[in-house]
Each structure stands twice: as structure tokens, then as C-alpha cells.
Amino acid sequence: MRIARFSHQDGIKYGIVDGGELVVLAGDPMFAGYDTTGERVPLADAALLAPVIPRSKVVCVGRNYRDHAAEMGNDVPVEPMLFFKPNTAVVGPGDAIVLPGITESVSYEGELAVVIGRIAKNVSAENALDYVFGYTIANDVTARDLQSRDGQWARAKGMDTFCPLGPAIETEFDLAGGAMITSRVNGEVRQNGPISDMIFGVADIIAYASQAFTLLPGDVILTGTPAGVGPLVAGDTVEVEITGLGILRNSARAAT
């Protein structure tokens, strides 16, 4: 089932994607279930929004693909390398990635995102996927110069608009189905790698993170990026596509 969050006629709603239409839900399905209102909205008449605004945090995993660690000149971590993005970094499909004046080097990073559906604390890897509501696409936008200069990643990863999510949440995504992450800038393929190349899988990441902090419904986990990251400049359009999840498309613009 594919769940979208969208605006229509000055209201924000949730819907099940059914072909070219959205079957409108009575509320946020993560909390209110899947009761429908009887209304259908053509996709063409709706503006898709970020499918979830994390209630507390976006948890990210760094260097979770060997080829990406290598291209950045880093060793492969022996355990998941976690960092946060604030929920103020989240934007949706079609929203602008704003390039602030405090950085001169911004990169895209296409990633699989996991949406948590239940409170998770000290869960085992064997049971971790039971806490997943669904999956979507993320772009872990990064200010490379600030990442290097600061020595930690709060500013570099957490600035406003630096976490595009979307276009929808797929509740039945097959992690073992051979899905590929493909990123394109202005139509040119820059990244193309299988999610099976992750060093630490989704279940292990959830279990590891939940040992440190409670994961709440609506929290999002970004699972790392394959090789091929590169620069974004004002005017670029970046697309991240994951097999079975669709395409997340955003354009970059300079801050005003």
C-alpha cells in the first residue's frame, strides 16, 4: 500500500495511491488506521508533501556503503555511524533545496528511508522490522565544506531543506527484492547501486539505534548512500529513484 500526504483545496490530507487517484483517509494512518472518507482526489489535482514530518528526529547512518566510504577516503565503520537531522530539515517532493550562503559546496546523497510506526526501545534485530510503518526515498543533502571544517555534522547535514523525503510511503516494500538507488542531476545518472550493498541492514540499524534512544512513530531513519555523490548548484534538478518507491525530485536554488 502506498500512502501519500498531500494538500488539496487548502487542506492537508492523507490518501492511498490508487492508480491516478488518491483515496482520502480519515486521518494520519499511522495513528488513525485506514478508514476512508469516500472522497477520491485525482493525483494531478493534489500537491504531494513530505509523506511524514518526524515527531522527534531523523536518524541517519553514515558510510553505510563500502564504495561510498572509499570514494570519500574513509574506512568502513565497524558499527553503524549515527547522526541526526532536525525535523526542520524536511521538505517534500518538488520543494526547493535552498543553498545557504554559509556553504560553497553542497552535495546530494540518495538514500532509502525507513519510517518507524511503533515505539521502539531496545528491540532485537530479529523483531526490528515489526516496528516499521513503511519506506520512502530521502536525499541526505550535505554541506561538504562545513562537514570538513566543523569536525561533526550538525550544520553540514541539518540545515533547513537538507532532508527531502517522498514521494510517498510504501508499506509493503521488499528489502530483499533487488531494489536499486539511482540519483540523477539534470537527467544525468550519478549514483546507481543496490540497497543490498548496505554494510548494516535495516533491521540491524533499528536495533542498534534503539539501544541508544527511543524511536517514536513517525521518526525516520536514513540508511546511507552508495558511491557517486557530487555537487549541487543553483538551478540543478536532482532526482532520487528507488525501485518500487518512485522518484523524489527537487531543484536547488540559492538562498535569498
**How do residues 25-35 score in pLDDT, each as one tens digit?**
999 999 999 99
How large a percentage of the chain has pLDDT more than 90?
94
Q: Are residues 180 and 233 in the same domain?
A: yes
Q: Does residue 197 form part of some domain?
A: yes
Q: Which domain holds residue 147?
A: 58-254
- Region 112-121: what's the mean pLDDT? 98
**90/196 same-domain check:** yes
Q: How many CB atoms lie within 10 A of CB 187?
A: 7
Are 183 and 88 within one domain? Answer: yes
53 in a domain, yes or no? no
101, 173: one domain: yes
- Sheet of 106-108: strand order equals 142-143, 106-108, 230-232
Q: Answer whether residue 171 is part of any domain.
A: yes
Question: Does 82 reside within a domain?
Answer: yes
Question: Are residue 35 and residue 83 in the same domain, yes or no?
Answer: no
What contacts 161, CB < 8 A, 6 or more positions away? 89, 91, 95, 96, 97, 98, 141
What pLDDT, on a 0 to 100 scale, did the predictor assign at position 115? 98
Residues 44, 67, single domain; the answer is no
What mean pLDDT do residues 251-256 have?
97
Compute the half-sphere exposure of residue 33: CA atoms within 13 Å on the CB side of its CA.
Answer: 3
User: Is residue 147 domain-shared with residue 230, that is, in the same domain?
Assistant: yes
Do 92 and 43 share a domain, yes or no? Answer: no
The count of domains in the chain is: 2
User: Can you tell me the distance from the alpha carbon of 110 to that of 27, in angstroms, rounded to the nearest whole number?
Assistant: 29
> Is 73 within a domain?
yes
Residue 128 lies in a domain: yes
Whether 97 has a pLDDT exceeding 90, the answer reads: yes
Euclidean distance between CA atoms 161 and 91, whole angstroms:
6
The three grid cell numbers given for residue 155, joined into one nine-digit string: 550544520
Confidence at 239, pLDDT banded by 50, 70, 90 = very high
Type of residue found at 2: R
Please indicate, yes or no, whether residues 93 and 158 belong to a single structural domain of this protein. yes
CATH code at position 27: 2.30.30.370
pLDDT tens column, 197-224: 999 999 999 999 999 999 999 999 999 9
**229 inside domain:** yes
pLDDT classification of 71: cutoffs 50, 70, 90: confident
pLDDT of residue 70: 83
CATH number at residue 66: 3.90.850.10
C-beta of residue 85 within 8 angstroms of C-beta of residue 159: no
For residues 89 and 29, membership in a common domain is answered with no
Residue 126 has pLDDT above 90, yes or no: yes
For residues 153 and 211, membership in a common domain is answered with yes
What average pLDDT is seen over the chain? Answer: 97
Say if residue 36 is in the same domain as residue 155. Answer: no
Q: Which residues pair with 233 in a beta bridge?
A: none
Q: At which of 14, 29, 48 does a domain end?
A: 48
Categorize the per-residue pLDDT at 19 as very low, low, confident or very high, splitting at 50, 70 and 90.
very high
Q: Is residue 74 part of a domain?
A: yes
Residue 139 has pLDDT above 90, yes or no: yes
Give the model confidence (pLDDT) of 157-201 as tens digits: 999 999 999 999 999 999 999 999 999 999 999 999 999 999 999
CA torsion sign for 155, 238, 246, 224 is: negative
pLDDT confidence band for 252 (50 / 70 / 90): very high
